[in-house]
Chain A
Amino acid sequence: MTATANLLAFLGLTATLLLVWRQSWPARLRLFAVQSALLAVLATAIGVLAGKWALLGVGAVFLVVKAWVIPRVLWRIGAGAPVRPIAPGHSSGIALLVAGVLVVAAYVIMLPVNRATELPTEGGIPLAFAMALIGLYLCVTGRDAFGHILGFLVFENGIFALAILATYGLPSIVEAGVFLDVLVVVLIMEGVVAQVRREHASTEEARLRELRG
Chain B
Amino acid sequence: MMLLVVLAVPLAGALLLARWRGGLATAVHAVTAALTLAAALAVALAVHMDGVLTALDGFLRADALSAWMIMLIGLVDGLAATEAPRYASGRFYPLFHLFVFTMLLAVTTDDVGLMWVAIEGTTLASVFLVNFEGTRASLEAAYKYLLICSVGIAIAFLGTVLVYFADIQLFSDEVDALRWTTLLRVAPRLPPRVMELAFVFLVVGYGTKAGLVPMHTWLPDAHSEAPAPVSALMSGVLLAVGVYALLRFKPVVDLAAGPAFARRILLVLGVASMAVAALFLWTSQNFKRMLAYSSVEHIGIACLGLGFGGAWGVTGALLHLANHALAKSALFLLAGRIRAAYDSAEVLAVRGLLGPLPRTGGAFLAAMLALMGLPPFGLFTSEVMIFGAGFREGRVGVAAVGLVLLVLAFAGLLRTTQTMLHGVPARPPVHASRGAWPAVPVVVALLLLLLTGLAWPPGLARALDRIAAVVAG
Contact = CB atoms under 8 A, between A and B. Distances in A.
A101 B280 CA distance: 35
Given A112-B191, A188-B124, A213-B289, A159 B146 contact: no
B124 A116 contact: no
A116 B144 CA distance: 37
Contacts of A196: 139, 143
Contacts of B142: 192
Nearest to B149: A185
Contacts of B174: 171
B85 interface: no
B221 interface: yes
Given A171-B177, A210-B140, A185 B157 contact: no
Interface in B143-165: 143-144, 146-147, 150-151, 154, 157-158, 161-162, 164-165
Interface stretch (A28-36, A92-100, A174-182): A174-182
A132 B156 CA distance: 13
Interface in A146-172: 148, 152, 155-156, 159, 162-163, 166-167, 170-171
Nearest to B123: A185
A189 B146 CA distance: 8
A208 B166 contact: no
Interface residues of B, number: 52
B165 A181 contact: no
A109 interface: yes
Given A166-B161, A166-B165, A192 B146 contact: yes
Given A178-B117, A192-B142, A136 B166 contact: no
**Interface residue tally on A, bucketed by range:** 35 or more
Nearest to A164: B161
A4 interface: no
Contacts of A156: 154
A162 B169 contact: no
A155 B196 CA distance: 21
Contacts of B197: 109, 112-113
A184 B124 contact: yes
**Contact residues of B: prevailing secondary structure:** helix
Contacts of B168: 167
Chain A, interface SS category: helix
Contact of A181 (B124, B139, B144): B124
A132 B162 CA distance: 14
Contacts of A210: 136-137, 140
Interface string B129-145: 00100101101111110
A139 interface: yes
Nearest to B196: A112
Contacts of B154: 152, 155-156, 159
B342 interface: no
Nearest to B162: A113
Contacts of A205: 143
B171 interface: no
B148 to A, nearest CB: 10
A166 B134 CA distance: 43
A174 B283 contact: no
B137 A192 contact: no
A87 interface: no
A152 B150 contact: yes
Nearest to B120: A181
Contact of B113 (A109, A155, A177, A184): A177
B114 A174 contact: yes
A173 B280 contact: no
Contacts of A199: 136, 139
A111 to B, nearest CB: 8
A24 interface: no
Contact of A174 (B140, B150, B178, B285): B178
B139 A192 contact: yes
B116 interface: yes
Contacts of B196: 112
Contacts of B111: 171, 173-174
Query: Most B CB atoms within 10 A — which of A116, A162, A163, A177?
Result: A116
B103 to A, nearest CB: 16
Given A152-B151, A213-B289, A170 B121 contact: no
Interface of B: 111, 113-114, 116-117, 120-121, 124, 127-128, 131, 134, 136-137, 139-144, 146-147, 150-151, 154, 157-158, 161-162, 164-166, 168-169, 174-175, 177-178, 191, 193-194, 196-197, 220-221, 224-225, 280, 283-285, 289
Can you list the 9 inter-chain pairs with the closest CB atoms, starting with the nearest? Answer: A177-B117, A112-B193, A174-B113, A116-B191, A208-B140, A166-B165, A163-B161, A211-B221, A181-B120
17 contacts: A116-B165, A116-B191, A152-B151, A155-B151, A155-B154, A159-B158, A159-B161, A162-B161, A170-B161, A173-B114, A185-B146, A188-B128, A188-B146, A192-B131, A199-B136, A208-B140, A210-B137
Given A211-B141, A211-B220, A211-B221, 18 more contacts: A109-B197, A112-B197, A116-B169, A116-B194, A132-B158, A152-B154, A159-B157, A162-B161, A167-B161, A170-B178, A188-B124, A189-B146, A189-B147, A192-B143, A195-B131, A208-B144, A210-B137, A211-B140
